[in-house]
Structure 1
Amino acid sequence: MMSPSHRKPRITVLKTSKKEHTLSIHAPKKDAPPCGLWLRLGPDLALDILTRDLKQIFFAINSTSYKKNMHTLEISGDENDKDFKDTATLLFALARAHGITTIFRGTAQSAHELEADGVLLDNLDDLTAARKLFEEDGIIGISCGLSNEKAAAAYDAAVDFVTFGTSKNTLPDAQILKFWTILTDHPAVIEGPVSNDYCAYYVEAGASFIDARDYIWSHSKGVMQGTVNMLHAIDLALENKNTGKAQ
């Protein structure tokens, strides 16, 4: 559901001796990865800078060895600010053009107006209205914080995905994913300042998406290198997870 086709082929990720990773052009194409990047933006959107950065990020994403990508752009901000909404609309259009799923964090009405693929809600009470607006094609999720009880209610309501984590500068315990992955195979997003050194804990625990915003945009060598490093770390974690299952 959240893995649209991408458009740029033939480049894969290889490790170098300097703990950075680079792009190379020799790899058979695989289907889609079971875990992807969750890119969060907002509330302040500088169109020129973000357009430049996102193009680099999307190039790295669409240059991996997968036939399809598994990545999402989430935007949040002031829904009453026309300039914000105009910028968000343009950034969502850019993401869709590169095969990236688009989610607005806020009201379903604004998500629909911004032509996002779906909405991330905070309140389960808003779910019925969101479904009515998006009908069957929309992707509707609930932010669960650190609450298994809210996740259970989201499961009962048949949401398309959930997020775990807080708005603070902390990481959730990877064990929070156990409850959700026992219930369902619907996607779970881990929110927080996840680096490439720590993403394996969440990938191996069953996360479907990793919040990569802080790591990618703070990387000393730029957003493309940050993206490549994070994608490589996810691939390594998936390999370790699959190796463990085979043993």
Structure 2
Amino acid sequence: MSAPSCQLYLITPPTLADLDAFAGRLAAALEAGPVAALQIRLKPADDATILKAVERLAPVAWSRGVAVILNDRPDLAKQAGCDGVHLGREDMDVAAARRVLGPQMMIGATCHDSRHLAMEAAEAGADYVAFGAFFPTGTKETTHRPDPEILTVWQETMETPCVAIGGITLETAPVLVAAGADFLAVSAGVWAHPKGPARAIVEFTRLLST
């Protein structure tokens, strides 16, 4: 069976009060269906907390074939042996991050609602660009609200994969899949699902397979 055209990109909650308990929830979620990548995104958190989280969670992801992406910090991503880093607009630029990480590690870049920023990131060597937030989200404060059409236009003009992010749930996802997102970045849509994260993954898998 061929892989779905749109895949799931899972993001951790911003705080993890019990790392071991979350590792168990993560394992159950990843066992429930295919996930392309896990972004470890902890805010606010010091370096030691971030590295400890990667040390605990990365093996859970890797043992299930899931890439591990660290938010914001190319230096810690390299130190911890992650597969890549996701850069926000206030973080290191893509070209500088590539110098830190070398040619093999993945780099993703937040581009909000701007195809211009996305084209610059792609030309600088980003492995994917992220547009959003498409919907209101409680995970972070957002001011940009792109139209899903930006995904369609991007697919028609560029080869670099695009990630849709921001307020994505089972109810809001279909319009983004139809518009052409390569990946759906989901956090609360999985972790806050009323029937638990494993059930959410099952339902997202069904949605992305149709």
**TM-score where L is the length of structure 2:** 0.85
After TM superposition, list the pairs within 5 Å mapping 1:16-165 onto structure 2: 30-45=1-16, 46-62=18-34, 71-77=36-42, 78=44, 80-123=46-89, 126-165=93-132
Residues 1:33 and 1:110: Cα distance change in structure 2 (over 3 Å):
same
Task: Encode CA deviations 1:126-158: one digit per residue, 9 max, x unaligned.
Answer: 323322232221111110011222112113223
Return 168-177 or 36-45, whichever deviates more: 168-177
The residue aligned with 2:163 is: 189
**SS of the residue 1:142 aligns to:** strand
Could you list the runs of 5+ residues in structure 2 that have no partner in the other structure? Answer: 134-139
Task: Encode CA deviations 1:45-97: one digit per residue, 9 max, x unaligned.
Answer: 231221111111111125xxxxxxx5110012356331332122221221111
Task: Encode CA deviations 1:207-238: one digit per residue, 9 max, x unaligned.
Answer: 011122212112221111111111111222xx
Which amino acid in 2 is paired with 1:44?
T
Cα distance in 1, alignment partners of residues 19 and 88 from structure 2: 26
Greater C-alpha Rg: 1
Retained in 2: the 8 A contact 1:189–1:207?
yes
Residues 1:190 and 1:183: Cα distance change in structure 2 (over 3 Å):
same
After TM superposition, list the pairs within 5 Å mapping 1:159-238 onto structure 2: 159-166=126-133, 167-168=140-141, 172-236=146-210
Return 178-187 or 108-117, whichever deviates more: 178-187
Cα distance in 1, alignment partners of residues 46 and 83 from structure 2: 20
What percentage of aligned pairs have identical amino acids? Answer: 28
Q: How many residues align?
A: 200
Return 85-94 or 110-119, whichever deviates more: 85-94
Greater relative contact order structure (CA < 8 Å, 6+ sep)? 2
Which amino acid in 2 is paired with 1:76?
R
**SS of the residue 1:61 aligns to:** coil
Retained in 2: the 8 A contact 1:171–1:194?
no
Cα distance in 2, alignment partners of residues 197 and 131 from structure 1: 36
1:32 to partner: Cα distance:
2.3
User: What RMSD over aligned residues (CA atoms) do the two structures have, in Å?
Assistant: 2.1
